[in-house]
Structure 1
Amino acid sequence: MMSSETELTPPELSPDDFVRIPDDRFTADTVAIVTGGGSGIGQATSIALASNGLTVAAVDIDEQGLAETADMAASFDADGRIVPVEEDLTDDDAVAAAVDEAADLGTVRYAANIAGMQHIASFSEFPMEKYDFMHDLMLRSPFLLSKRVMPHIEATDDGVGAIGNMSSVHGHYATQNKPAYITLKHGLAGLTRAIAAEGGGTLRGFSVSVGYVLTPLMVDQIEDTADERGISEREVIEDVMLGQARTKEMMTPAEVANLFVFGFSSHAKHLNGADLLWDGGYTTTYE
């Protein structure tokens, strides 16, 4: 087990964190859209895809975070590049503008719907205005972005591309005090299958489900869960988060990013309408 100081500090990214997959479509002329590109998993995925030679339209409302993402990719001498796209994903017109801006950069073939948030509260105490915001960000926005991206993929010479959705172990089962997050992650499973159903086999939809990932969002969640349950942050990590897992270690953002790289690659052509579940045994084992 890591020290308490390490547990609450997201790891720094490095060039060696990312898998490189040779792929004929991983070129500077090919564009991948990544939402939530200003921090956490979205930031790592943007850098991972740029490291594989793609042009990445990193979308976020956080201008400073996007600049950090682009600067980091450049400092890693990534073969591709990251173009910051500052837009509010809860605004329909902004989502459309983000896709249009990405299309101006090259051929859009890939999109990663990663942007998300968490709010810890019981059903009886959950504020509906918070639910509405989470819904717009985590389900409506991925639906609309996918709707806008699919015609671009279909218009390519071979119709090959993929849309990956960031799900969770909470898209497979439920725990207390996360009713909105759980509801929306289950909804992403339906979106993923709907994309696959209409994608003709070459335009694929898939999701990525992981356990707890050490991101800035997770640090906040640890603190909120500790307050909600009246226990220490260490108890949250060891008993609540890692208690059920067989792999007693949180994932890193880069490890999740590598799953999106694989999912977009030609090696994953049979991954369609399905989920990449890398959860350390959370949902498949119990004591």
Structure 2
Amino acid sequence: MGEDITPPEVEREDIHTIDDDRFAPESVCLVTGAASGIGRAVALSAAANGLTVAATDIDEDGLDGTAQRAAAMDAEGAIETVPTDLRNDAEMDALVDAATELGDLRFLANVAGLQHVDPIEEFPMDAYDEIQDVMVRAPTYLAKRCLPHMREAGGGCVGNMASVHGHYVTSDKVAYNVAKFGLRGLTQSIAAEGDGDVRSFSVSTGYVKTPLVTGQIPDTAEQRGISEREVVEDVMLGQSRQTEMLAPVEVGNLFLFGFSELARHLNGGDLLFDGGMTLTYA
């Protein structure tokens, strides 16, 4: 694979600093999937903006790497790692409890994701169930647990990592497609019940240079009988007006914008940053 699609490291100079009084150490941002990719970028963006971050993932080594990266860039806010299996309610309860012990829990970023590539007729239901548990049920459960704390803190916001696959679908990814549409439904449900105290938004991007994306390229190539380069150029970027994938830090910046007062009228909406993929055609 070319160097242009290698997952890049997050650099401090690429993180936007947003002036928001709530972006302070006493405010906590809980981030799932924080061991790598977009989750790591959101955690680092939040810490660089002064928030205390409760970073969670099942990958403990990856979480340690995220904390080390924050220290290396002298992030203003602290990253506290809380390893959690999002398929387990008791562990999610402990995660939320740990986050509230760090300060006022104001922000929740549901980023954790899985992928499996197979046509529907061959799709293993255990993989389907796991994807729904991690990508739909866990975000719903965490929102259920976090909303009361957000209201108690005087307001908060939930950001959900959706995708162009929450707008239209591609073949051989039925569980992922269903999950991303589900996250957009969750986003709107939180907005409907937030009563103005708790906002919500989703972020829908095209392909991002993450391990999850680059890791599925060989499977997609095999499924379609094409080369890995053709997967990138024709399948992933073929409909986009852009010629390169997003960097994870660009998505991290979108989450922090969504959490900030700059986005106070963003509630239930979707930030569609897909390079024109879903709205244009050649």
TM-score (norm 2): 0.99
Aligned partner of 1:263 among 236, 258, 261: 258
How many residues are matched?
282
CA distance in 1, matches of 2:232, 2:32: 27
Structure 2 counterpart of 1:224, from 219, 223, 226: 219
Letter in 2 for 1:219: T
Q: Residues 91-137 of structure 1: CA distance to partner in whole angstroms, max 9, x if unpaired?
A: 11111110100000000000000000111111111000000000100
Q: State which drifts further: 140-149 or 224-233.
A: 224-233
Query: For 1:224 and 1:15, how far apart are their aligned partners in 2?
Result: 33
Q: What code does the residue aligned with 1:200 have?
A: D
Deviation at residue 224 of structure 1 after TM alignment: 1.1
1:32 to 9, 29, 34: 29
Tell me how far 1:171 sits from its aligned partner: 0.1
Among 210, 214, 220, the alignment partner of 1:215 is: 210
Structure 1 position 178 matched with structure 2 position 166:
no
Specify the code of the residue in structure 2 equivalent to 1:107: D
SS of 2:82's equivalent?
A: strand
What amino acid is the match of 1:279?
Answer: D
Distance in structure 1 (CA, Å) of the matches to 2:219 and 2:163: 19
Which residue in the other structure is 1:284 paired with? 279
- In the alignment, structure 1 residue 196 sits paired with structure 2 residue 196: no
Query: Which of these residues, 100, 121, 125, is aligned with residue 122 of structure 2?
Result: 125
1:69-93 per-residue CA deviation (whole Å, 9 max, x = no partner) reads 0010011011101000011011111
How far apart are residue 8 of structure 1 and its match? 4.1
What is the Cα deviation at residue 5 of structure 1?
Answer: 2.4
Q: Tell me if structure 1 keeps the 8 A contact 2:5–2:245.
A: no
Letter in 1 for 2:211: P
Q: How far is 1:177 from its partner?
A: 0.7
| Aligned-partner Cα distance in 1 for 2:218–2:92 | 31
Query: Match for 2:61: what amino acid?
Result: Q
| SS state at 2:3 partner | helix
Which aligned segments of 4 or more residues in structure 1 are displaced greater than 4 angstroms? none
Equivalent residue letter for 1:174:
V
Q: What does residue range 157-172 of structure 1 map to in structure 2 within 5 Å?
A: 159-172=154-167
SS of 1:10's partner is: coil
Q: CA deviation at 1:174?
A: 1.2
- Distance across 1 between alignment mates of 2:255 and 2:5: 25
Shift of 1:7: 3.6
Q: State the partner residue of 1:92.
A: 89
Structure 1, 161-170 or 214-223: larger mean CA deviation: 214-223
Equivalent position of 1:274 in the other structure: 269
Correspondence 1:82 to 2:84:
no
Q: Tell me if 1:252 matches 2:233.
A: no
- Please list every run of 5 or more consecutive structure 2 residues that lacks an aligned counterpart in the other structure: none
Kindly provide the amino acid, as one letter, of the partner of residue 157 in structure 2: A
Q: Which amino acid in structure 2 is aligned with residue 76 of structure 1?
A: M
Residue of structure 1 equivalent to 2:20: 23
1:70 maps to 2:67: yes
